[in-house]
Amino acid sequence: MAAELTAQQLTAQHRPTLDRALEAIRTRAYWSPHPEHPKAYGENGSLDLAAGKAAFDALLGTRLDLGQPGTDDWVGGETSPYGVELGVSYPHADLDALLPAMRAGMRAWRDAGAETRAVVCLEILKRIGDRTLEFAHAVMHTSGQAFMMAFQAGGPHAQDRGLEAVAYAYAEQTRTPDTAEWTKPQGKRDPLALTKRFTPVPRGIGLVVGCNTFPTWNGYPGLFASLATGNAVLVKPHPRAVLPLALTVQVARQVLTEAGFDPNLVALAAERPDEGIAKTLATRPEVRIIDYTGSTEFGDWLEANARQAQVYTEKAGVNTVIVESAGDYRGMLANLAFSLSLYSGQMCTTPQNLLIPRDGITTDQGPKSFDEVVADLAQAVDGLLGDDTRAVGLLGALVNPGVKDRLEAAAGLGEVALASRRIAHPEFPDAVVRTPLIVKLDGAKPDAEAAYMSECFGPVSFAVAVDSASDAAELLRRTVRERGAMTVGAYTTSPEFEEEVREVCLEEAAQLSLNLTGGVYVNQTAAFSDFHGSGGNPAANAALTDAAFVANRFRVIEVRQEA
């Protein structure tokens, strides 16, 4: 079969982007090839936006036939957190037919080499990028993110993370040369001379287990890291967030076909309600790599039981912000209010525990008592979310009923400093939209510990009164060590305390944001520059993305013979 896209064409088109990405991960300066404004996606402004919406609408109620072998049924039935029935059905796979079919194309994919694999991956990302406005709706109506966030985080930012993984994968595979001439002197005798060939070989099938809240952002790193290192990739989406990853698989299969490779190198594993196929898939001998985002319980199960595979997990954690003192009190409040509100706190990076000395703090606005800080933060959140239209644009919808139940229960855990407010969505009456709840807890009271030492995923945060700044640092240490953390924030004007918190983060392996008061938030990381998680505390066993995330997805095989 003559490929419609030759490796040469793809290399000419994408190699400059790959080189730029390689430079970015080395310098970690700002860079992205994926624009963050909807208007960049087309020439026609609102017409393009409408076209993206129309493309999404056209998917509703359809069967997404990916042409996968071993399809024995059609499954689906996602309901948007905004109340829309998606009605899309997806192939259900007979694994004994699909998995062997996925392996069939691996040899050619391996022999294509690291550069061709990278540029094919970049073409997949480009095609996804071209449909960003359509993907935005698919992410919005599965995750409950507001449109603008679904567009940014589910579109360009997810594509950034995918490209970053491709760049790391390429860099890693090319650290060993394809060939080497090895000549060892032997004194007066002839030297020993060998010719050596080195080939990166894949491990097998990579399984990506997607999550409900960030199907593309959290799915792309593992998907592209495994694919770029020569593996086939089976994508098992969260049953409530299938569409964005199914579209991704569809694009990947199309590009692979056009480039002359077997489309079955990427496939979808959708499941029937309550089928729970992740456990079955995760322990199949063909599956040699697993990328998972979700609960600690299942992440731990994977690490313990999927022993035939390399397992990369992002699990639950308890994120802390320490407020020791503030050089820009209003900036701090505004920044924190935004962090707590964005996507109703349903990010693995959203702060949960705000540790504040019970005797109050010093600020550029004068001393503030514990109660004042909490009240001012509550007011800042209120102000940010005072206008309902603006509020729904920030909050989005609660992703599932569990979050709502947890939010309602959390109000009973202590004194409510800021009550959660129901907002009617102007467009989607069935959407469950809630503003953040802030509950005061006393860190010295043992009965409060059960609350603040557990992850309460959703728009819930705890303002925890601590005896001193050093107590805060020690509680931070214990929280990260025992519960894990994806992010840590701290506000302080004291160089000594800054050093103390920094040391805790270095020792407990947590990523630290200091004194953020402007337009960067503790819960946001930028690909090519920020690491997402550290891989060194219980919240995640891997970081997005570093060399350790890619280096064990392939092995280098050497064939040597006398020269």
CA distance 255 to 81: 31
Tell how far CA 541 is from the center of its chain.
Answer: 13
User: Of 34 and 238, which CB lies nearer to its own copies in the complex structure?
Assistant: 34
Q: Would you say 500 and 470 are in contact if contact means Cβ atoms under 8 Å apart?
A: yes
| Stretch of 196-204, 241-249, 376-384, 444-452 lying at the interface with its own copies (CB under 8 A) | 196-204
Integer distance in angstroms from the first to the last C-alpha of the chain? 36
Site residues for its own copies, 458-487, by CB under 8 A, read: none
Smallest gap from Cβ 105 to its own copies, in A, equals 13
Helix ranges (H only) for 317-358 are 329-341
Question: Does residue 194 bind its own copies (CB under 8 A)?
Answer: yes
Phi/psi at 465 (nearest 5 deg)?
-80, 125
Q: Binding pattern to its own copies, positions 200-219, x when CB under 8 A?
A: -x-x----------------
Q: Could you give the count of Cα atoms lying within 13 Å of 188 in the half-sphere of its Cβ?
A: 0
308 contacts: CB under 8 Å, gap ≥ 6:
283, 285, 287, 288
Q: Binding pattern to its own copies, positions 89-128, x when CB under 8 A?
A: ------------------x--x------------------
Question: Does residue 301 bind its own copies (CB under 8 A)?
Answer: no
User: Of 272 and 560, which CB lies nearer to its own copies in the complex structure?
Assistant: 560
Residue 60: which of 82, 83, 78 has the closest Cα? 78
Q: Binding pattern to its own copies, positions 27-56, x when CB under 8 A?
A: xxxx--------------------------
Distances (CA, A) of 415 to 48, 418, 419, 437: 48, 9, 10, 11
Q: Could you give the count of Cα atoms lying within 13 Å of 315 in the half-sphere of its Cβ?
A: 23
Site residues for its own copies, 173-192, by CB under 8 A, read: 175-177, 180-186, 192
Question: Does residue 274 bind its own copies (CB under 8 A)?
Answer: no
Q: Which two tokens stand for residue 73?
A: 């049924």
Among 1, 2, 43, 304, binds its own copies (CB under 8 A): 304
CA distance 485 to 464: 17
Q: Binding pattern to its own copies, positions 529-548, x when CB under 8 A?
A: xxx--xxx------x--xxx
What type of residue is 58? A
Among 366, 429, 446, 519, binds its own copies (CB under 8 A): 519
Question: Does residue 405 bind its own copies (CB under 8 A)?
Answer: no
Which residues here bind its own copies, judged by CB under 8 A? 26-30, 107, 110, 172, 175-177, 180-186, 192, 194, 196, 198-199, 201, 203, 303-304, 307, 502-503, 505-507, 509-520, 526, 529-531, 534-536, 543, 546-548, 551-552, 555-562
